[in-house]
Amino acid sequence: MKDNAATPAAGAAVSETLARYAAGFDGARIPERVRECARLLMLDSIGIALASHGYDFSRRALAAIAELDGGGDSVVIGSPLRLDPRNAALANGVLVHGLDYDDTHARGVIHATASVLPTVLALAARDNRSGADMVAAYVLGMEVATRLGAVAKGGFHQVGFHPTGLIGAFGCTLAAGWLLGLDAAQMVDAQGIALSVAAGSLEFLNDGAWNKRMHPGWAANAGITSATFGKHGYTGTRLAYEGRFGLYASHLGATGYDLELATADLGELWEVERVSVKPLPACHFTHASVDAAVRLHAQGVRAEQVRRVTVLVPAEVVKTVCEPEAAKRKPANSYEAQFSIPYLVGTALCKGRLTLDDLEEAALRDPAVLALAAVTDYRHDPASGFPRHYSGEVIVELKDGRTLREREAVNRGAEDRPLTAGDIRAKFRDNALRQVAEARAESIERCVLGLEQGWARDLADQLGQA
């Protein structure tokens, strides 16, 4: 039985070390606790994908993808639509990520499942692979993507790149390569090709545009493309990561990243176990502050009592959830609201909650919430544990002169404050039942959690229904 651990050879490029790891990856050596975690992460994302069908962005995305499609039998989660594998992966990535409710790897600052799951679902179902193979490919893609994201140490967001799309393409490339049977040399080529097709800009933050929703699906599409080119002997660059114009130098410049993190503890420590499931439907950077605001509401704080609100956030997240200030205080649409500290904290203070319903267009015009958002400022959190934790603190100055504060040093759902399996299953049901009957939700849950006793195509058949 092969050992999944990978030690970099002297003088080896990062792509070569990752290629050897991927080509020799043995799913049977993944610990059961890791495989269970993987199945739960898949279940969480499938529930979100089902819920996404209730929103306009999904209808428009599926209409566009269907128009571009050349025909195929790969499934779209929660839909009778059948597409070719790359377009199905694109569609499913949009559905998983579109509500910004999907999981996050904190150190990598990446939503890796949103790209890796669509990749392995499309290929494993097409080629009638076992459910165990699908889980193994998923774990492989996650282990690669999360480490490559961690290399940047949060730097991609600071210069306007979205690692979910940019880095996701490389994890998808190796997951797809493993399912397609690529050898190590072909895996190196495939990663080099991915360097030219990986993308993801954060410009959407300035106007609430929908670009980000398609990033993980595009990464899945790019990964399948790159792996298939590699399979057929198309030569890709060897220094995809550390080259003069490689991934990190071209996107981050000369310093500020640690390439050793790309291959650290491969096969020994499992990053899948460090992935955080979101308890709230908003950017993960906001969760601690929202939960702190919910606790203040529970203590009796009401909107009409508040004179000013100050939120302490990690300095590294300011560009994402606090700026530009005018737009954050009055978001133009639900997607912009999901990245707005003033709106989300105002909602939590007003209502004592944050749900998908609080992101509907009508909710965005709630005068009490907007009044709170208008008096909400931010400061850098001097005690931040970013990127291990996405901390937050809410300080409320009341009109009667009192000051109340609540701090969330470790955000709920973080790797050392994880949601339970029961929490994740309950979240799945809450999301799935927005679109499907209870009996069907239960059937999907059984199929996903029992995936390794079945076949990927059986899961696809379960998911590919309206």
With a CB cutoff of 8 Å and minimum separation 6, the contacts of 281 are 99, 100, 101, 338, 354, 355, 356, 359
**DSSP letter, residue 331:** -
**pLDDT reported for residue 5:** 67
Instruction: Check pLDDT > 80 for residue 67.
Output: yes
List pLDDT tens digits, range 112-159. Answer: 999 999 999 999 999 999 999 999 999 999 999 999 999 999 999 999
End-to-end CA distance of the chain: 42
- Determine what percent of the chain is predicted with pLDDT higher than 70: 98
Q: How much is the mean pLDDT over the chain?
A: 96
Give the pLDDT confidence of 71-89 residue by residue, as tens digits: 999 999 999 999 999 999 9
In this predicted structure, what is the pLDDT of residue 466? 73
CATH class of 284-408: alpha beta
CA dist 265 and 31 (Å) reads: 15
| 276 close to 103: Cβ distance less than 8 angstroms | yes
Indicate the helix (H) or strand (E) that contains 425: helix 421-432
Return the closest-CA partner of residue 334 out of 162, 210, 211, 202. Answer: 210
If you average pLDDT over residues 16-45, what whole number do you get?
98
Write out the two tokens for 127: 């080629």
Angle at alpha carbon of residue 104, lines to 321 and 133, rounded to 5°:
155
pLDDT bracket for residue 4 (50, 70, 90): confident
Tokens of 380: 């850098």
Give domain limits for the chain: 14-279+446-464, 284-408
pLDDT recorded at residue 3: 61
Alpha helices in 394-455 (DSSP H): 421-432, 438-449
Q: Is 99 helix (H, G, I), strand (E, B) or coil?
A: coil
pLDDT band at 2 (very low <50, low <70, confident <90, very high): very low
What is the tens place of the pLDDT at every residue in 181-232?
999 999 999 999 999 999 999 999 888 899 999 999 999 999 999 999 999 9
Q: With beta carbons less than 8 A apart as the criterion, state whether 19 and 237 touch.
A: no
pLDDT at residue 1 tops 60 = no
Nearest to 17 by CA among 348, 314, 302, 242: 242
CB within 8 Å of 357: residues ≥ 6 apart: 363
**Domain 14-279+446-464 - what CATH class?**
mainly alpha
